[in-house]
Structure 1
Amino acid sequence: MTEAELRRRLPPGLAHNCLAAAENRPAAVLIPLEPERGVWLTRRSAQMPNHAGQVSFPGGKIERGDASAEAAALREAREEVGLDPAVAEVLGRMDDFITGTGFHITPVVALVPRGVRFRADPGEVQEVFCLPFATLLDPAAPRRRKVFWRGMEQDFVVWPHEAHVIWGATAKILLDLALRLRGAR
């Protein structure tokens, strides 16, 4: 997907739903899109206190000193993967998401330059990898799975990747992104 296509499908002022935070912990994630390549994701370090070893977007808690969710997402991306905020062009936000673990996530979409290089902080990130646009645009993706949890059948989505299991909040945010890129939302 070219930069022009991304800008057309994700125009500035991206429409999104904001949710009231209530008792949930506010967090922001950056959705870094590299034209003609895909979306960048991380595998969290096994030492992380929350969601250790899981696939996620760069991001984390919104701190008191952060001017906005966008500022928090860019700060966290700098800390976790060494992304210079000056090279990330924020396009807007996607729908807020509340996790079952008590986080209120604000997803922030940004374009990053072709050939962007990341430098993972080993204390927070085990690996940085790209999910290609071809996967996001594939109408057969993601796959739906069912599991029994706490005595109930739960339905969830899993994105195909040869080396990683992409599920949970990350998978749902990716689904929202994919629907927007496919023109279905």
Structure 2
Amino acid sequence: MEALFDALEARLASRRPRAVNLSGHVLRESAVLVPLLVREGAPHVLFTKRPSTLRHHAGQYSFPGGSRDPEDTTPLHTALRETREELGIDVSGVRVLGALDEVPTLTEFRIQPFVGVIPQGVEYRPNPVEVEFIVEVPLAALLEPSLHRAERRSVRGVEYEVDFYTYGSHIIWGATGRILRDLLRLTSELIVRP
């Protein structure tokens, strides 16, 4: 697995992540961690499901993250702080591989995603206010074309494409789906599939 993570880190370092530039719009800053981990010798991606009681994005799958607080010195600090708060883990051992492209949201945020590897043996203590449950999905499964579909949507007169990834009963879409698409595009040649 280290070879895969090394290759992904090199790929992320060799490119500059695209920043969101929507002229006339000021978007609030936020950041997420796209957590990778190893289970049974294979790379997995961690998602959280948000409780249905939340006001925003209730019941949706997401990566740990949130709004940048004034005391957050960088977007990466935001992503790691939120990961610690949501998953209840010590993030000092997370190996940050690099940043993906920024993603705008309909709720006027710009999300800076960071890819990081969670050390083996870490025990989650999810915050029940923010996390209903955690799902770990094999990276190779997410690369299967049958799991992905895209739909055209229109909001406020603007057409855009929405990515959906269906893994069993879990449907990952929206900003999380766009971030996942970017990750999968970068890792597709690095994964050896059976």
* Separation in 2, partners of 1:123, 1:160: 25
Q: Is 2:52 the partner of 1:53?
A: no
Question: C-alpha root-mean-square deviation of aligned residues, in Å?
Answer: 2.3
Gap regions ≥5 residues in structure 1: none
Instruction: Name the counterpart of 1:9.
Output: 8
**15-24 vs 96-105, greater mean Cα deviation:** 15-24
Counterpart selection for 1:23 from 23, 26, 40: 26
Percent sequence identity is 36
Measure how far apart 1:56 and its partner are: 0.4
Which residue identity lines up with residue 174 of structure 2 in the other structure? G
Counterpart selection for 2:80 from 41, 57, 74: 74
* Cα gap change, 1:146 to 1:71, in 2 (>3 Å): same
Measure how far apart 1:20 and its partner are: 4.6
The runs of at least 4 aligned residues of structure 1 exceeding 4 Å deviation read 146-154
1:81-102 Cα deviation digits (max 9, x unpaired): 1121112111111100101121
SS, match of residue 166 in structure 1: strand
Measure how far apart 1:26 and its partner are: 0.8
* Separation in 2, partners of 1:58, 1:110: 11
* Separation in 1, partners of 2:163, 2:64: 20
Q: Normalising to structure 1: TM-score of the pair?
A: 0.88
Instruction: Name the counterpart of 2:174.
Output: 168
**125-134 vs 4-13, greater mean Cα deviation:** 4-13
* Cα gap change, 1:91 to 1:9, in 2 (>3 Å): closer
Gap regions ≥5 residues in structure 2: none
1:7-41 Cα deviation digits (max 9, x unpaired): 21232636211235852111100111113231101
1:39-96 Cα deviation digits (max 9, x unpaired): 1010012232321111000000000100111110000001111121112111111100
Q: Normalising to structure 2: TM-score of the pair?
A: 0.84
Contact 1:26 1:62 in 2 (8 A): yes
* Separation in 2, partners of 1:8, 1:142: 24
* Cα gap change, 1:83 to 1:20, in 2 (>3 Å): farther
* Separation in 1, partners of 2:125, 2:138: 20
